[in-house]
Amino acid sequence: MKRRGIGLFLLGGLLVAAGLVAFLSPRARQSPDGLQKVAEQQGLSKSERSNPLEKGPLAGYGLRGIQGPRAATVLSGLAGLAVAFGFGFVIFRLLGRRPGAAEREGPR
Amino acid sequence: MHIPDGFINLATSAGAGVIAGGGVGVSLKRARLALEEKTAPLAGLVSAFIFAAQMLNFPVAAGTSGHLIGGALAAVLVGPWVGVVCLTVVLVVQAFLFADGGLTALGLNIVNMALVTVLVAYPLFLVLRKFLPASKSGIIVASGIAAGFSVVAPAVAFVAEYAIGGTTSAPLGAVAAAMAGVHTLIGIGEGVITGITVGAVFSVRPDLVYGARDLLPKFEIGVQAR
């Protein structure tokens, strides 16, 4: 059963992740998370400053210009998922291509 | 768990940024030593999956929610060094594209959710495995428990950061008690989700669970080395 590639696994994993975004993210709790709740209760929130990028096209898991919060959440989530995949992938591809072996071959 | 801008002063945030940069740098170096052909696609998948899972807030107490952080999950699936980088990828994407978590607080968030979670989860996972059967259920239980503690640890780290550079004057004891309390509950959710996910991956492709490599029969490892 070994010597399988990971193409199928990759595809399946990405489909599961996309499915989570598509079907579960619109139903996710909107209530504040643990840190936000504690910050509200203990008065930390009064020193909060907004992220300077809060006007960005995907900010707040929304999508500018798209009507309907559900579609906006899902589409922005899928965009984020794709970016996260690409970013993670590229970092390690570049890491593999850095002249690690070449360094050992000779001085430069 | 994402710290917004303003909670922690700039000096402390900058200090955390230096620690974050160092930690991620070390992780990249260590990850590179064990780089395989499948590392990049798996790192992409883990980053994408954790990004998706972090959108799914579940209820933990009245008016409070929590979501997976994923430090333990990443460490068990792709190893601690690649795992730190995956979590960092997620946090950078969230801060820059989704305005989730502050920009000046990015270093703090990387320290707490990428470094502290993995540094607590993976050693704990390895210790737990010594006391658990060398089987799928042993892997699942060790992952789940390690994941639970890996959520309380960054909550404690936040309290420490608040003690050093908090910009408000809330009583430290109250902040600590509240953070520990709610994140213990969130930790249970983290443990369950991590256990289920690791179990699912192990069922499909045990060879792709970094933390379970020792369970593979030797001949399989030999074949894979080619």
The beta-carbon contacts of B171-178 under 8 Å, at least 24 apart in sequence, are B171/A42, B174/A42, B175/A38, B175/A42, B175/A44, B178/A37, B178/A38, B178/A41, B178/A42
Q: How far apart are CA B11 and CA A56, in angstroms?
A: 27
Chain centroid, CA A60 distance in Å? 13
CB B78 within 8 A of CB B42: yes
Q: Is ipTM beyond 0.95?
A: no
Q: Is B101 helix (H, G, I), strand (E, B) or coil?
A: coil
**A32-78 tens-digit pLDDT:** 999 999 999 999 999 999 999 988 999 999 888 676 788 899 999 99
Give A8→chain B minimum CA distance, Å: 11
Report which residue type is found at A78. Answer: L
Q: Does residue B90 have a pLDDT over 50?
A: yes
Rounded alpha-carbon distances, angstroms, from residue B175 to B38, B51, B105, B160, B190: 43, 27, 18, 10, 21
Report which residue type is found at A93. Answer: R
pLDDT at A5: 86
pTM score, whole prediction: 0.93
Cross-strand pairs, B65: A33, B59
* A43: nearest CB among B50, B103, B170: B170
Which chain A positions have a beta carbon within 8 Å of B60's beta carbon?
34
Q: How far apart are CA B92 and CA A107, in angstroms?
A: 35
* B85: nearest CB among A41, A82, A91: A91
pLDDT at B83: 98
* B223: nearest CB among A3, A16, A82: A3
